[in-house]
């Protein structure tokens, strides 16, 4: 999410502590999920579960004051609705502090391992998402070898869990295009060097990894030749439906904007025999946005040969009355948007 790198400090988080904790869900239209089977055309459908990346200006930060971890009961409730994938944002600096080639912070790693192991033990996928925008301590990462080392150390936390999915970094932006390629390739190489050979790797692009600018920004051309010896790369793109695509408004441009913004990226995926995932998407709880969202997801379902799925932004126990909140029992999107999304789960 674009605004997280400036949004959340200890004051906002402290205030958010008053937000409702995750608990048993209310009455919503049941999904089409049959126990053990999913009727969806998508391989991955889920929710970003925020919290561990909060307070990103307070490093290392204090658990319960500056950051938190997702709640197990939320995972249970969302899985009961048919969701099978949970992207877990966290901070690189908290997991491996001080330097990219440093050692794991065992306390923070334990929090990550606890929620990831819970998600995967329930049969769902956990996306490991260093939510850093291509930065480390607010500076653009230029140490490609160090980035590979960071990833090798991190991947050793879950080297054999085939329900884990690796996300190289959230929303690179305002960076040299070749550097973004090199960082993605270094992450792939570092993950595989750790012995993590069975899992998918999500690669993200420059320009906030936007689907609507995937081709025009140069991401398509520059990231086309990323190599994975396991051939399990998925191109992760993000798409919001407000006027500037930032995901900061409840207004959507039109009821067809979702489909329109995915067309060029879809054509690129098809032309190059690649797979894509919409790693972040959302819209306001109103008729026009719901129409735009369902139209977009219908378009993706019709092109499920290249689109592996979609993840909503966002959930997490500290969002409170966030405009796109998918946190049960009372999140805005959970109560007002989710019923319309059921056919695409």
| Catalytic residue IDs | 171, 280
Q: Does residue 329 contact residue 24 with C-beta atoms inside 8 Å? A: yes
Which residues contact residue 35 at a Cβ distance below 8 angstroms, ignoring those fewer than 6 apart?
none
- Cα(110)–Cα(71) distance, integer angstroms: 15
Nearest to 265 by CA among 293, 292, 234, 243: 234
- Segment 8-12 long-range contacts (CB within 8 Å, at least 24 positions apart): 8/54, 8/55, 8/56, 8/57, 9/55, 9/57, 9/58, 9/66, 10/55, 10/58, 10/61, 10/65, 10/66
Dihedral, 115, 116, 117, 120 alpha carbons, nearest 10: 120
**What are the DSSP calls for 305-320, one per residue?**
TTEEEEEEEEE-TT-T
34 DSSP β-pair partners: 37
């Amino acid at each position: 999410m674009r605004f997280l790198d400036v949004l959340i400090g200890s004051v906002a988080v402290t205030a958010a502590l008053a937000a409702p904790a995750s608990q048993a869900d209310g009455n919503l239209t049941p999904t089409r999920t049959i126990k053990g089977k999913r009727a969806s055309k998508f391989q991955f459908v889920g929710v970003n579960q925020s919290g561990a990346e909060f307070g990103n200006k307070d490093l290392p930060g204090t658990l319960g004051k500056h950051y938190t971890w997702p709640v197990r009961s939320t995972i249970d409730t969302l899985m009961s609705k048919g969701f099978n994938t949970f992207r877990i944002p966290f901070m690189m600096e908290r997991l491996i502090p001080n330097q990219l080639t440093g050692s794991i912070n065992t306390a923070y790693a334990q929090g990550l391992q606890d929620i990831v192991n819970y998600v995967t033990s329930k049969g769902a996928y956990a996306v490991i998402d260093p939510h850093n925008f291509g930065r480390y301590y607010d500076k653009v990462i230029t140490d490609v070898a160090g980035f590979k080392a960071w990833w090798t150390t991190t991947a050793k936390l879950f080297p054999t869990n085939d329900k884990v999915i690796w996300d190289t970094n959230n929303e690179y932006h305002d960076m040299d295009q070749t550097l973004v390629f090199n960082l993605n390739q270094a992450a792939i190489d570092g993950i595989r060097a750790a012995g993590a050979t069975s899992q998918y790797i999500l690669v993200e692009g420059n320009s906030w990894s936007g689907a609507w600018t995937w081709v025009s920004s140069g991401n398509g051309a520059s990231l086309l030749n990323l190599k994975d010896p396991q051939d399990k790369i998925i191109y992760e793109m993000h798409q919001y439906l407000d006027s500037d695509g930032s995901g900061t408004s409840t207004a959507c441009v039109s009821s067809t904007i979702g489909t329109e913004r995915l067309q060029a990226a879809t054509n690129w995926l098809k032309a190059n025999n690649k797979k894509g995932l919409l790693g972040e998407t959302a819209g306001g709880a109103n008729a026009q946005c719901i129409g735009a969202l369902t139209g977009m997801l219908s378009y993706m379902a019709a092109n499920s040969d290249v689109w592996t799925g979609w993840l909503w932004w966002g959930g997490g126990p500290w969002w409170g009355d966030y405009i796109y909140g998918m946190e049960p029992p009372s999140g805005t999107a959970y109560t007002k948007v989710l019923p319309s999304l059921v056919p695409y789960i």
